[in-house]
Structure 1
Amino acid sequence: MKKTNYFEIIRRFAAIAAMSIGLGSGSAAYAQAYSWVMGPNGEGLTRLGSLGGDETVTFARAINDARQIVGWSSTAAGKTHAFLTGPNGASMTDLGTLGGENSYAYGINNAGQVVGTSDAEFCCVNRAFITGPNGTGMTAFLPTAGAQRDPYSVGLGINNTGRVVGYSTDNIRSHLLITGPNGMNRLDTGFQEGVASAINDAGQAVGTLSPLEEFTHHAFITEPNTATVTKLGTLGGSESHATDVNASGQVVGWSRTAGGEFHAFITGPDGAGMTDLGTLGGTVSMATGINDAGQVVGYSTKAEGAEHYAFITGPGGTGMTDLNSLVTLPDRLTLSEAQGINNSGQIISLSGIAPIPEPATYALILAGLGLVGFMARCRTRATINQ
């Protein structure tokens, strides 16, 4: 009889959760962090503000071709709310919540429709949300279309027809979430395990498959406007993760190499092939975004130390440049993680001053803390109700 490895199940759930709330915002491990927007050569470097609270709790997550930025920030009341800015990070707007205390924005299209997740008005439940153009209104959604209905959901990406990707979860298994236009009509069955992280205007979604019984991760791309997935392979190692896709279907993310390192990768059109982007001299690099010219952004370690440094490549993923070589930051800050790039070459990045753990370790820390917090809240509520 096969024994159930509960530790491995928890580890796998933690890694999947970190795909959306951890590895893309690793600066939670920093003693101090800020968010910035800049041009492709570092020009116009601007630090984002906050929603009235601490600016070190502002995390930029996506930028569109209208130069609007979304993410989350601290309010004057000490809560965390999703935000939308005007062009170039100006005039940050609080998008509110779905009735709970906190919300987080992860994706935006060129019309300004925003997706993310928010606390619901009742305890311990988070719902994916979608807004109208320019962030107007916030509507909860989890299209079922015959799929199982998980209590928690997150919208991670949205294309210009309003097709949304993300995941839903029952706290043990995470299931792909891929919708039709304007977040309607779930295309997937709701039972395919993993996370869909981005989608292009052709309807090609990318992300990571994570079947619990396999104990590994596979980057994937879908056929246009379907949930039919094709695995992308690896850089010679045991796992890969896809984070973004451009108009031609070039996919970026990271993979374990044959030598056991984590390296950023780029594929050819429609996910064909996988090319190692290398590192800035260290053993870890991760690609977080790509534009239609094939410029890739992300972060990498160097030959010494565990710190991460934001990078940008040339068109087609050629070369890897430390963004810190293009700018001068105040207060000895370092651009640590580039989070996204638009078709004008504008980049959003986080900065920090403390080391970050290795990817797998950090995923466990962040998602594990979230899971512990969730269990504690629910246990407290159960005690009160007794």
Structure 2
Amino acid sequence: MTMILPQSINLKIKPSPASVQVLMPRVKPLNPTAASYYDLTNLGTLGGGISVAKDINDSAQIVGYSINDIGQKQAFVWNLKEGMQDIGTIGNDSSCAYSINDYGQVVGYSVSDCGQRRAFIWDKIKGIHCLDAKSNNLSEAYGINNSGQVVGFSVTNNGQRKAFIWDETKGIQNLSISDDIESSAYAINYSGQVVGYSVSSDLIVKTFIWNGDKDIQELPGFLGSDLNMSGQVIGFYSVPQHNNRAFLWNNTEEFQDLGTISNNANLQFFDSEAHSINDSGVIVGSSDKLINTEQEEFAQRAFIWDSVNKMQDLNDLIDPSSGWVLTEARSINSHGQIVGWGTKGQSCCAFLLTPIS
């Protein structure tokens, strides 16, 4: 049984250096604030009209998916030297990559011959293979750290969606979260802390922070999407008007509402969601923005947030003559480079933003 989350939450939902050549970073580390200007790189596509970037590592290797020239959804790896490369599928014509670590190991899902999504891990030497070859159950992998630990969700034999952690030695292990009827893990940091969400038997949505065998912390009413090395957690939570707001939690009893790009208290129906936080505490995500005051027209825009400048529209930090509209910022690395997707003309394409000032 797969639970439907309450309406107030709108989900949109061991290292092996020899596996792949590690590309050295091409930019200097950034201070813990947004840059004043970013250079934009169009990542292109695999032949179709769509590409979406999901993650970037500290060597500026990027993963996501793109539609190819025959209409298939394909996972890709991109780097500056070789461009966008199709990493293949497991037995079918569809795949998506969600995360990449600093050794070039990639995780995501691929559709198997039986039509089921299956969590995969890929590297340049071994190629693509299932995390759990013994099971045909639905599974997806969302995060991988530099120790090669992978997190995501898998559906058990009794139909429950359960958060898991995987490594080469122990295989897939479901995370034990009290009273949960559904759960999923979205990210894992270098020290093995895991963040995700769970749904309790009384249908309360909670962020969980799993600290190995030590303990599990829970934040009722919140959905966690990422955490950094310091244990700072970001995601979104529901507000009384049944909308979502991006939040930052600093491993204390308090959390910070990050607001929206428009930052207007009268816009209670606007959404914002935080997707990624780097080790400097800089956050990226998406927010509704008021683009026509008279008609109260709004649209989704990519944002960046830091403790000094607060939330800024990334469209204000790129060349205005580029023709791009950045709609979603999905990941930020330790150098302040950002990936996501936006539109240019009639195309929806993945982008890379590199700070230059």
Asked if structure 1 preserves the Cα contact closer than 8 Å seen for 2:3 and 2:181, the reply is no
Q: Residue deviations 1:290-335, cap 9 Å, x none? A: 0000000011112433411111012x58611110111136675421
The answer to which of 301-310 and 100-109 deviates more is 301-310
The alpha-carbon distance between structure 1 residues 275 and 298, as it changes in their structure 2 partners (threshold 3 A), is: same
Number of aligned residue pairs: 311
The alpha-carbon distance between structure 1 residues 172 and 184, as it changes in their structure 2 partners (threshold 3 A), is: closer
Alignment of 1:173-192 (within 5 A): 173-180=160-167, 184-186=171-173, 188=175
Q: Which amino acid aligns with 2:143?
A: G
TM-score computed with the length of structure 1 as normaliser:
0.72
Does residue 164 in structure 1 map to residue 150 in structure 2?
yes
Q: How big is the shift at 1:228? A: 4.6
Percent identity, aligned pairs only, is: 34
Q: Of residues 196, 216, 221 in structure 1, which corresponds to 2:209? A: 221
| 5+ residue gaps, structure 1 | 1-5, 24-38, 234-238, 355-386
Greater RCO (Cα-Cα under 8 Å, separation 6 or more): 2
Aligned to 1:91: 83
Aligned to 1:151: 137
- Structure number having the greater helix percentage: 1
Q: Of residues 60, 67, 78 in structure 2, which corresponds to 1:67? A: 60
Aligned to 1:46: 41
Alignment of 1:1-386 (within 5 A): 11-12=4-5, 19=11, 22-23=12-13, 40-54=35-49, 57-87=50-80, 91-121=83-113, 123-132=114-123, 134=124, 136-142=126-132, 151-169=137-155, 173-180=160-167, 184-186=171-173, 188=175, 193-211=182-200, 213-223=201-211, 225-226=212-213, 228-233=215-220, 239-258=221-240, 260-268=242-250, 270=251, 273-281=254-262, 282=267, 283-303=270-290, 304-314=296-306, 316=307, 319-328=310-319, 332-352=323-343
Secondary structure of the residue aligned to 1:85 is strand
Q: How big is the shift at 1:183? A: 7.7
| 5+ residue gaps, structure 2 | 14-33, 291-295, 346-357
The alpha-carbon distance between structure 1 residues 182 and 263, as it changes in their structure 2 partners (threshold 3 A), is: farther
Return the alpha-carbon distance in structure 2 between the equivalents of residues 204 and 267 of structure 1.
14
Q: Which amino acid aligns with 1:138?
A: I
Q: Residue deviations 1:23-54, cap 9 Å, x none? A: 3xxxxxxxxxxxxxxx9444220111111222
Return the alpha-carbon distance in structure 1 between the equivalents of residues 308 and 206 of structure 2.
21
Secondary structure of the residue aligned to 2:310 is coil
Q: Which amino acid aligns with 2:182?
A: E
Q: How big is the shift at 1:280? A: 1.4
Return the alpha-carbon distance in structure 2 between the equivalents of residues 182 and 107 of structure 1.
20
- Structure number having the greater strand percentage: 2
Return the alpha-carbon distance in structure 2 between the equivalents of residues 135 and 306 of structure 1.
46
